[in-house]
Amino acid sequence: MDFSKAQFERAYGTFSQLPASILPEIVFSGRSNVGKSSLINKVFNRKNLARVSSVPGKTVTINFYSVGGDAKIVDLPGYGYAKVAKTEKDRWAKMMEGYFNSGRNISLVVQLVDMRHPPTADDIMMIDFLTQTGYPFIVALTKSDKLNKTEYKTRLEAIKTELPTVEKDRIIPFSALNGEGAETIRNYIIKYSGGSK
């Protein structure tokens, strides 16, 4: 897979608009403001592929990107933003359910969790869901550059007990600033989407 070929395709506001799922889909999921757009940009080595926002929780859309003819990137809407109206939360839930329960070709889910804090109830719910459904997934611990050495060690140890169902080498500290973890995440993407490079 040629990571440099990643390109924005379209944003979908309802599940029923989604295109047929043919190519493997690499899915990015996490709460609003966790650093999803920044991670996508770093992993695919592009500055403005996904829009980095200063205002969280603005868009409830599923964004599709293509990676040449090899795979799709699926950027799910962020969850857990308190100021979002209930109607938007309901729309979010419907889109998630629609996306995950319609037999799509999901090859890997990258679940993002802010490394500075214990996983939120919503994070745990997503991870439980992924564990139950059996979709391959990894956990990216975002904003790792914001922790000092001691905090880093403490949080990394703690998260392994907070997420007991996740294999330890699938918990990957990540920083969009210094690139920590980007290569490991790329390797998982390659491994699961069947690309040779």
Residue 93 binds which of ligand GTP, Mg ion, none (CB < 5-8 A, kind-dependent):
none
Chain residues that interact with ligand GTP, rule: CB under 6 A: 30, 32-38, 52-54, 56, 78, 142-143, 145-146, 175-177
Q: Which residues, listed in sequence order, are joined to residue 114 by a DSSP beta bridge?
A: 142
| Three-class secondary structure of residue 167 per DSSP | coil
Residue 35 binds which of Mg ion, ligand GTP, none (CB < 5-8 A, kind-dependent):
ligand GTP
Burial 22-55 (b: 16+ CB within 10 A, else e): ebbbbbbbbbbbbbbbbbbbbbbebeebbeeeee
Residue 175 binds which of ligand GTP, Mg ion, none (CB < 5-8 A, kind-dependent):
ligand GTP
The residue among 32 and 107 lying less far from Mg ion, judged by its C-beta, is 32
The residue among 117 and 146 lying less far from ligand GTP, judged by its C-beta, is 146
Using CB under 5 A, pick the residue from 36, 42, 91, 155 that binds Mg ion.
36
- 37 is a site residue for Mg ion (CB under 5 A): yes
Q: What share of the chain is helix, strand, coil (3-state, %, to 5)?
A: 40, 20, 40
Residue 146 binds which of ligand GTP, Mg ion, none (CB < 5-8 A, kind-dependent):
ligand GTP
Piece of 10-18, 30-38, 141-149, 169-177 that binds Mg ion (CB under 5 A):
30-38
The residue among 122 and 162 lying less far from Mg ion, judged by its C-beta, is 122
Quick count: other Cβ atoms within 10 Å of Cβ 18? 17
**Helix or strand holding residue 163 (H, E):** none
| Three-class secondary structure of residue 41 per DSSP | helix
The residue among 24 and 30 lying less far from ligand GTP, judged by its C-beta, is 30
Please provide the size of the chain in residues.
197
Question: Which are the contacts of 93, defined by CB distance < 8 A and separation ≥ 6?
Answer: none
The residue among 52 and 158 lying less far from Mg ion, judged by its C-beta, is 52
In the numeric block, the tokens 């880093």 are attached to: 152
Residues found near Mg ion in the complex (CB under 5 A): 36-37
